[in-house]
Amino acid sequence: MQRRLRLGRPRSWLVVVCAAVGVGLLAAPTASAITPAQCDARVNDTPSKLVECVQTADLWNHMKAFQKIANQNPGPDGHPSRNSGEPGYRASVDYVARLMQQAGYDVTIQPYKFLYYAYTGFPTFTEVSPTPHTYTLNSEWGPGQSIGTANAAIQPAGGIVIPPTAASSSTSGCTSADFSDFVSGRIALIQRGGCNFGVKALNAQAAGASGVIIFNEGNPGRTDLLIGSLSDAADNPIVPTIPVAFTTFAGGRTF
């Protein structure tokens, strides 16, 4: 009997935005006996003077302030967030800039462009048959940066090496030939190794896969869950329009 899996993805989106870079406030506290009052009464114009004036209580107050900002600015998934590109990040930048200006610094906020991606809900990965099972996020599996849902049988791609060799040797899913007999609509099972994860996902998508599962290769140091970035052959970040899931070597072997 074929195993049938469901990859559930909340609706997601991809945009290019401008965000702002803030100035970090954290530094390692020292064992100096200097007091805040003494620091305020002198010119702190060298790194050594600044560092010894860092107080643990002040650091903790800033951490609480950042957490409050995150709580007041939930991300698209409803969780507290200060992620780049989201309101909590901008509020954090404004907080840092305001404190630095109050301290007498000239502050410049420098915008930059980056790829922004966010989940709008909780991603799910379940086995429908023959043995129903809901996989635990971030231990049994992890979501790749992708869009869509899939509910289909699994089909292994070509190039899988089981048992794995001592050193990495798998190139599963790295060429279109690995999908020469792939049945359109199925979820492609692909082993790590040989090329970028995004290349594997794009090849599977081109072959008509409705979803992708990439499992770790199984060599020493390559057995646990690895949630990889998705980039094409030129190392450009991509967002496939089919769901991509990552799982452990042991998890991949069960499919």
For the ranges 13-17, 52-56, 227-231, the one whose mean pLDDT is highest: 227-231
For the chain, the first-to-last Cα distance in angstroms comes to 11
User: What are the Cα distances from residue 57, in Å, to 47, 135, 157?
Assistant: 20, 41, 55
Q: Tell me, what's the pLDDT at 205?
A: 97
**Residue that the structure tokens 């003077």 belong to:** 49
**Phi-psi domain of 94 (left: phi exceeds 0; alpha: psi -120 through 50; beta: other):** alpha
The CA distance from 73 to 91, in Å, is: 9
Q: Answer whether the bond into residue 220 is a cis peptide, omega within 30°.
A: no
167 vs 78, residue with greater confidence? 167
Does residue 13 surpass a pLDDT of 70?
no
Distance (Å, whole) CA 87 – CA 95 = 12
Q: Are 202 and 196 in contact (CB under 8 A)?
A: no
Name, of 3-7, 8-12, 32-36, 126-130, the range with top average pLDDT.
126-130
Phi, psi torsion values for 176, nearest 5 degrees = -65, -25
Distance of CA 125 to the CA centre of its chain: 17
Give me the residue spans of the domains in the chain.
4-12+120-253, 23-108
Statement: residue 11 has pLDDT above 60: no
Segment 135-142 mean pLDDT:
92
Between residues 23 and 243, the one the model is more confident about:
243
Q: Which distant-in-sequence residues (6+ apart) come within 8 Å of 156 by Cβ?
A: 188, 189, 190, 255
Which fold would CATH assign to domain 4-12+120-253?
Glucose Oxidase; domain 1 (3.50.30)
CA atoms within 13 A on the CB side of 1: 7
Q: What is the pLDDT of residue 5?
A: 57
- Between 50-59, 166-175, 182-191, 211-220, the lowest mean confidence (pLDDT) is in 50-59
Does residue 210 contact residue 113 with C-beta atoms inside 8 Å?
no
Which residue has better confidence, 162 or 30?
Answer: 162
